[in-house]
Every structure is written in C-alpha cells, then in structure tokens.
Structure 1
Amino acid sequence: MIQRFETGPRMSEMTVHNGVAYLAGQIPEDTSQDITGQTRQVLEAIDALLAQAGSDKTKILRAEIFLADIGEFAGMNKAWEEWVPQGHTPARATVQARLADAAWKVEIVVTAAV
C-alpha cells in the first residue's frame, strides 16, 4: 500500500511505502529571509510532514540539499546544525543547483523511516 500526503495535480508532498517516507523537495514560503531563515522554514516543513507520517527527524535516513549559491553553505549549515539531533545525523549530500524559483535559496529532500 502506498499512502500519499498533501496530494495535488502535479505531485504529493510525501509518499509512504513499506515503512519509508519519501518527501518532495521542500522550499521556503517567505523568500525575503536570508539563507539561514529560509533553511529554518524548510526544516519546519519537513518536521510537519514527518509528523503526519508518524515519524520525526531522528529517523531521517538521507537528506539532499540544493543551494542556489554554494557560497551560502555556512548559513544553511547554521540552521541545519541547530535542528538536526546529534547522534541522529543522516547521510547527506549538498550541491549547488539552479532552483525553480530564483527567490529560493534552498530546497531539501529527505527520506525517513516511519
């Protein structure tokens, strides 16, 4: 069985199958904020989605982080390190990418156990 959450005409924000939650790329709502603020927004959205699936950030298996400007790596990491629980850090990749909206500084995709 596949569960779909916040399903729209183009995509679902999350799907769950065989005890694994797959999140769509999460992006900031308030693009006026700096990289640290945008990252915090994205991490809050991830927390909310994982809660819907009965999971949380301690169960994240993998994170893929896309930055519009790799020069903002330190600012993103500031928010990430405040958020991620020590001892539960997931496998992670961070790359620079042209994001779909030029105002987005960060997009994060996670896969987590449920």
Structure 2
Amino acid sequence: MTIKRIEAGPRMSQAVIHGNTVYLAGQVGEGATVTEQSRSALAEVDRLLAAAGTDKSKILQTIIYLSDMSTFAEMNAVWEAWVDPNNTPARATSQGALATPDYKVEFIVTAAL
C-alpha cells in the first residue's frame, strides 16, 4: 500500500495518506484569542482535507489540545459552527502546553477519503 505525503518538510508532513485514511499534523491558527486561532486552524484543516481529496464530513476523529481549559466553551462555539452536524467525529479535548506560549489551541484530525 502506498503512502502519499502532502506538504512534506524536513521535520514533518502536513498530511499523510495511507490506504483510505488521511492523518493531519496538528493544526494551530493565527490570532490573539482562542476564537481567532480556532477559526484559522480549522480553515487549515479544510484546506488540507481538500488537498487530500476529502472534507470535514469524513472526519473520523479529532483530538484537541487547549493551553487553558477555561477556554473550552470559546473553542466549542467555533467548533460547533464549523463541524458537519450530520457527521460529528469521535473527539477528545485535553489541556496541555503547546509548542509556544502564543498557541492557545491545536487540532489533530484523522479522516477517511
């Protein structure tokens, strides 16, 4: 079975396709707030899924990291406006330190093709 890498770099690929599954690297967004960063990161998820030949209706699982769990409701407001309500994925959300203090949220997505 072949492996296709999308936007491969020296450290990581932004997406990897194996079989009928696409795995996205953790996506962080731009902006000062969790709302802004969530919108930006989910726009990147849309872009990468499209590059892989799929879309958010085919998301199987999403893992979300927040730098501060007190922003859970703020992130969820953006998520609920974005996610396909007829095809919600399995999801987990946790608090953790992200790559830089500027990052407030990160989305890790696995989807079917």
**Into which bin does the TM-score normalised by the smaller protein fall?**
over 0.9
- Counterpart-to-counterpart distance in 1, 2:103 and 2:52: 26
- Identify unmatched segments of 5+ residues in structure 1: none
Q: Name 1:80's counterpart in structure 2.
A: 79
**2:5 is equivalent to residue 4 of structure 1:** yes
CA distance in 2, matches of 1:37, 1:75: 10
What residue number does 1:99 align with?
A: 98
- With structure 2 as the length reference, what TM-score do the two structures score? 0.97
Give the distance between the partners of 1:46 and 1:97, measured in 2 at CA.
20
What is the CA distance between 1:20 and its match in structure 2? 0.2
Counterpart residue type for residue 94 of structure 2: V
**When the two structures are aligned, how many residues end up with a matched partner?**
112
How much is the aligned-residue C-alpha RMSD, in angstroms?
A: 0.6
Aligned to 2:31: 31
Shift of 1:37: 1.1
- Listed one character per residue, the Cα deviations across residues 43-73 of structure 1 (whole Å, up to 9, x for unaligned) are 0000000000110000000000000000000
Match of residue 112 from structure 1: 111
Q: Which amino acid aligns with 1:82?
A: A
Q: TM-score, normalized by length of structure 1?
A: 0.96
The residue type equivalent to 2:69 in the other structure is I
Paired position in structure 2 for 1:64: 63
Amino acid at match of 2:11: R
C-alpha deviation, 1:31, in angstroms: 3.5
Distance 1:61 1:39 in 2: 19
Q: Identical aligned pairs, as a percentage?
A: 50
